[in-house]
Structure 1
């Protein structure tokens, strides 16, 4: 169902699954007959009821109704369609259903953490290739670029600025063949990189010295640059890139540890840094594809496996202890199986009272997944009682609701939930959300 076209009755039309859609796992015990309908909370009029397969769609993540309307009007002038979303659930549903060519994201929305959304998008293999154009009322440009944004703009935006933004999206979407410059004097690396990057969407060029690199860079712009830091002129090339092509993604790799002050300079430019340890080529390929906004699902199985193996070694989920609270044993079983495959330690409770007891007695719980609709003590009350303990002040609690109803998001947050998600639960979406909150927990 990519994309979906809705009948006037609200029913879903069926269509064949694309490769990228088929790659998304859905927990088997938690699937209703149709996808969840859009919540009526904070509804903004958009084009979702009039999207055809050939339309180019932009996903606008924005809670300012007036600004959303302006964005829609300007998008129409550029020949684009718009869908508007706010909640995590709706964002991923829109990505799956409408295959947007670009996303605009307001990171300063009062009720939704826009930075968390950006982390989610760039951490999800089915969404990370979509260019995100960040919009903010405050100048957070460095942070946005450091987290993988395609561009950054500060409100208020004039009509000309919005028009230019949409034209940039169209131009980038039409730019299918991406150029990568690999700078290394190591012949073995050149051979490996040739096999790693080259496919129908990426053309790789090589430079074996600083002189050759400057020649290539002066001849034409590149979409991304990869450079071996053992090259004597590496820092000179990086300084040139920062001065002449500050928006071009650069990945620096090194056999040995980079000197601390030089490393700080490189990271200050928001360049990626990798060491040639186990899983290096998978990490490098993943980083380049992310920088180029190339869909991982278009790769061969061999390259996909290379990326997944590399990223699995550093997955923040590994070893974390998660409590699942749900009165339905089928859901407990399905979630437990999915989590254990990710090397999570799983605890379960089938009632609110049992959950409160486990949280009070068990040490090292990193997250709670709380079903809201439970008999006796519902999820709202369970969350409130868990939050009464000072030690649970920062414990990530993700509420799980049966369907998107008016006020669900607000009620969950007011009860003390960190975030919420609705059934049917897609494993990749849930795991991405969990990674964001586990990352936040480690920063506290």
Structure 2
């Protein structure tokens, strides 16, 4: 019925025959066609925390008063397709905040930024938000302490933890008391972040739909440079990329890669092998970053033998003339 009628909202009981309410909401949220429809639980079971983790907008325990039911309807109507959702991004790095803003940009999403946990708590006490994107490495109060303070002072706003740091087992357990939505920044993280935020905002993200269809049409005509000394790798990569409509340039070592970039500065992406003769991938990346034209050129390092420390080597600090705003690991090096 949800797929057929696309309702404004769904009131869902937990104790249903054949398939219980938990399974129903899991199926709804896994289906891109209906995942944006807000779900409000009304059940004899008091499991509001589990409902929030699965993406419900609210939870009422029977028996329900008419006032509480009216509140549930108002909550569902808040997430109508044409209503504005409010997202709070808490991160001390303005570049990261701007990146998140760009990712979730939508006419129906208002993005508010905070550079510290203290400022975020102040904002939460002034007005409500539908979702929070939180970095853990904050100045002053840490992201961990913020989660605990927020729960005691500002209610149960859904939180998506979006951090570059790998979590220890103890840290992960501590965070999971407040949220199961943890996204570690990396190659697939933007897509995951969109999924998690859209789940809590109950919205269809305009960037997500076509991109996840994987038709490749959005890549047609884009220019990529493949740098690898193994002809088998070059052949395999170029075949796949050209099948998606990309224009592929090739180089078999670092020096040739620099020459290709100098002759074709409109290249938009570099796939860089690490283990190469003459000039390896790390040296080549450093040389590329010395040219102001390529300070923000995306480079993806590829290696068959990843070792501890390789990720850090692939993000060398850029010259201060290229990235004056940050001294180490500027985002343009990523």
Alignment partners' CA distance in 1, 2:115 and 2:131: 17
CA change 1:174–1:113 in 2 (3 A) is closer
Match of 1:101 among 1, 4, 8: 8
| 1:304 equivalent in structure 2 | 209
Match of 1:330 in 2: none
Q: How far apart in 1 are the matches of 2:37 and 2:115?
A: 32
Residues 37-186 of structure 1 mapped to structure 2, 5 A cutoff: 94-173=1-80, 176-186=83-93
**Match for residue 257 of structure 1 among 166, 172, 175:** 166
TM-aligned CA deviation for residue 209 of structure 1:
2.2
> Which whole-Å deviations, capped at 9, do the CAs of 1:129-177 have from their partners, x for residues lacking one?
1111112222222222211111112223234433332233334438711
Runs of 4+ aligned residues of structure 1 deviating over 6 Å after TM superposition are none
Write the deviation string for residues 289-347 of structure 1: whole angstroms up to 9, x where unpaired.
Answer: 11111124xx14xx4355567xxxxxxxxxxxxxxxxxxxxxxxxxxxxxxxxxxxxxx
Aligned-pair distance for 1:115? 1.6
Q: Which residue of 2 aligns with 1:191?
A: 98
Structure 2 distance, partners of 1:186, 1:116, is: 38
Higher relative contact order by CA 8 Å / sep ≥ 6: 1 or 2? 1
Q: In the alignment, is the contact (CA less than 8 A) between 2:79 and 2:201 conserved in 1?
A: no
Query: Structure 1 residues 219, 157: CA separation in 2 closer, same or farther (over 3 Å shift)?
Result: closer
CA 1:184–1:164: 2 relative to 1, 3 Å: closer
Q: Which runs of 5+ in 1 are unaligned?
A: 1-93, 310-444
Q: How many residues align?
A: 212
> What's the Cα RMSD here?
2.3
1:286 aligns with 2:191: no
Deviation at 1:247, TM superposition (A): 2.5
C-alpha contact (below 8 Å) 2:14/2:21 kept by paired residues: yes
State which of 109, 126, 131 in structure 2 corresponds to 1:219.
126
Residue aligning to 1:202:
109
Give me the whole-angstrom Cα distance separating, in 2, the residues matched to 1:162 and 1:181. 28
Q: CA deviation at 1:284?
A: 0.5
Tell me the TM-score normalized by structure 1.
Answer: 0.44
Give unmatched runs, 5+ long, in structure 2: 215-334
Tell me the secondary structure at the aligned position of residue 199 of structure 1: coil
User: Which whole-Å CA distance do the structure 2 matches of 1:161 and 1:220 have between them?
Assistant: 21
Task: Give the match's secondary structure for 2:134.
Answer: strand
Could you tell me whether the CA contact under 8 Å between 1:249 and 1:271 is conserved in 2? no
For the Cα contact (< 8 Å) 1:286–1:307, is it kept in 2?
no
CA separation in 1, counterparts of 2:36 and 2:57? Answer: 10
Shift of 1:116: 1.2
Say whether 1:275 aligns with 2:180: no
**Deviation (angstroms), 1:253:** 1.8
TM-score w.r.t. length of structure 2 = 0.58
* Inter-partner Cα distance in structure 2 for 1:143 and 1:247: 12
Q: Determine if contact 1:121/1:127 at 8 Å carries over to the other structure.
A: yes
- Work out the CA distance in 1 between the residues paired with 2:135 and 2:146: 11
Deviations 1:377-413 (A, max 9, x none): xxxxxxxxxxxxxxxxxxxxxxxxxxxxxxxxxxxxx
